[in-house]
Amino acid sequence: MASNRGKRRSPLAANLMNHAAELRRAFESRWRSTPRVFRAPGRVNLIGEHTDYNDGFVMPAAIEFSTWVAAASRPDRILGVYSENFSEGREFPLDDSAPERQNHWSDYVRGVAIVLERAGHRLRGANLLIRGTVPIGGGLSSSAAVEIATAFALVGISQITLGRTEIARLGQRAENEFVSTRCGIMDQFIACHGVAGHALLLDCRSLEFQLAPLPAGVRLVIGNTMVRRELAGGEYNRRRADCQEGVRHLARSLPHVQALRDVTLAQLEQYGRDLPERVFRRCRHVIAENGRVEQAAAALKDGDMERFGKLMAESHASLRDDYEVSCPELDSMVTIASVQPGVYGSRMTGGGFGGCTINLVREEHVEGFCATVSRLYHETTGRRPLMYVTDAAGGAGEVMPSGSA
């Protein structure tokens, strides 16, 4: 299925170099040296939620909202970091033998430096200026965008050669081991491997992936419910623990089972009925969701967007009822969006408990869709949403070397 999406430059893509030049000027004003500029995108997941840490299948797309890092080396072994979004900075010694998490935004940056060093890559001291356009707390993976942009910057200025998949793994390790969020690899992987105009069908066990071209004339419309995901961290870890409990139980009868990826719905019904009811439902969601991702990939290949949209609806219902990670505002926005003209499908995206929905909308209906959903959602919930329109974007990389104008 051919896509001409790459031929149309969105305003965000068209301003790529301008954005990098502006960040470079801000860096030069702060540190009086000329940096290199790197970026990594946020992501939206079209289908396949809470399957990645169960060795399953996902279908994310990188988006045109990004984290930008301007970076230049310094002569000592200090990492100096300043965030424009938070208007504050920190400094960390790279030779600290016992670094401790500070429960601060800078943990994502420092964690990347720590895992790179522990992996045997000696870093140069550096100053980093960070600017993010990925909405924070919206489930669009602002944290992975910070991690991957930071990793590309530190690797680049330290003249270290690493492949994109290895950088994704290191970003995941930083979040798992230093930030202590037990995320899967999907967010970091799509930030590294995103391709404009495409989603990725990713096997989170083997890390093999296939490009899934999105049809021309379909835009990604993200609806931010403006409900912050305050409970997401602890609840995320509890859901993961439930899945692991299910695996341990099922493996007693099915020795080949290493993750829920290895279980069919029929096997769950046969061997999982004495699981706690909550754990059974968690497992049922993950197993069924893996099947939906594979069916969605086939629907895209066949150009059957109606089928793709139905699978999105099934995914949302399962996340709401079996995995219990939705919330009234997400449900309201999906209900409103699903019946609008030009909509193929709508569902929550990300970890849940607030954040965003993803909607596939015909291009000619996007303006009316955003206006109507915003109005009806506000009337229903009292909250004013934000609507973001994007195409699938390319992955992380260097935007502006230090010698360029």
**Lowest-pLDDT choice from 134-148, 188-202, 212-226, 330-344:** 134-148
**Confidence (pLDDT) at 231:** 54
Residue 118 in any domain: the answer is yes
Residue 265 lies in a domain: no
Residue-wise pLDDT tens digits, 140-151? 889 999 999 999
Range of the domain at 102: 5-215
Q: pLDDT-based confidence at 211, cuts 50/70/90?
A: very high
8 A C-beta contact, residue 350 and residue 225: no
Whole-number pLDDT of residue 6? 36
Residue 347 lies in a domain: no
Query: Positive or negative, the Cα torsion across 315, 108, 73, 95?
Result: negative
Q: Are 207 and 344 in contact (CB under 8 A)?
A: no
Query: What does the mean pLDDT of the chain come to?
Result: 92
Residue 396, pLDDT > 90, answer: yes
pLDDT of residue 198: 95
Q: pLDDT-based confidence at 336, cuts 50/70/90?
A: very high
Q: What is the pLDDT of residues 169-192, one digit of tens each?
A: 999 999 999 988 778 899 999 999
DSSP secondary structure string, 209-258? Answer: EEEEEPPTTEEEEEEE-----TTHHHHHHHHHHHHHHHHHHHHHH-TT-S
Q: Which residues partner with 60 through β-bridges?
A: 45
Is the confidence at residue 274, as pLDDT, over 80? yes
Query: Which has the higher per-residue pLDDT, 305 or 182?
Result: 305
Q: What is the mean pLDDT of residues 325-345?
A: 97
Does 357 fall in a domain? Answer: no
How sure is the predictor about 402, in pLDDT bands with cuts at 50, 70 and 90?
low
Q: Please report whether residue 62 resides in a domain.
A: yes
pLDDT score recorded for residue 322? 98
| CATH number of the domain to which 168 belongs | 3.30.230.10
- pLDDT at position 135 is 84
Rounded distance between C-alpha atoms, residue 163 and residue 110, angstroms? 20
User: What is the greatest pairwise CA distance in the chain?
Assistant: 67
On whether residue 187 sits in a domain, the answer given is: yes
What number is the average pLDDT over the span 145-166? Answer: 97
* Structure token digits, residue 34: 């000329």
Tokens 């030009």 found at: 342
CB proximity list for 102: less than 8 A, separation 6 or greater: none
Residues 40/152, Cβ–Cβ less than 8 Å: yes
Across 67-91, average pLDDT? 96
What token pair was written down for 204? 């989170």
Q: Tell me how many helices (H) and strands (E) the chain has.
A: 12, 12
Mean pLDDT of 147-167: 97
**Around Cβ 177, how many Cβ atoms within 10 Å?**
15
Beta strand pairing status for 78-83 and 88-93? antiparallel
DSSP, res 54: G
Q: Which pLDDT band, with edges at 50, 70 and 90, does 80 fall under?
A: very high
Confidence of residue 285 (pLDDT cuts 50, 70, 90): very high
The band of 235, judged by pLDDT with boundaries at 50, 70 and 90, is confident
Work out the average pLDDT over 132-145. Answer: 86
Q: Mean pLDDT throughout 92-114?
A: 92
Q: How far apart are CA 42 and CA 12, in angstroms?
A: 13
Residue 229 in domain: no
Q: Would you place residue 2 in the very low, low, confident or very high pLDDT band (cuts 50, 70, 90)?
A: very low
* Single-letter amino acid, residue 404: S
User: Containing H/E element for 168?
Assistant: helix 164-173
Catalytic residues: 187
What band does 250 get if pLDDT is binned at 50, 70 and 90? very high
Average pLDDT over residues 113-135: 95
pLDDT in tens, 40-63: 999 999 999 999 999 999 999 999
* pLDDT (0 to 100) of residue 8: 41
3-state secondary structure of 387: strand
Half-sphere exposure of 96 (CA within 13 A, CB side): 16
**Number of domains comprising the chain:** 1
Distance of CA 210 to the CA centre of its chain: 18
pTM (2 d.p.):
0.89
126 lies in a domain? Answer: yes
* 132: CB partners within 8 A, 6+ apart: 66, 67, 68, 83, 85, 142, 145, 146
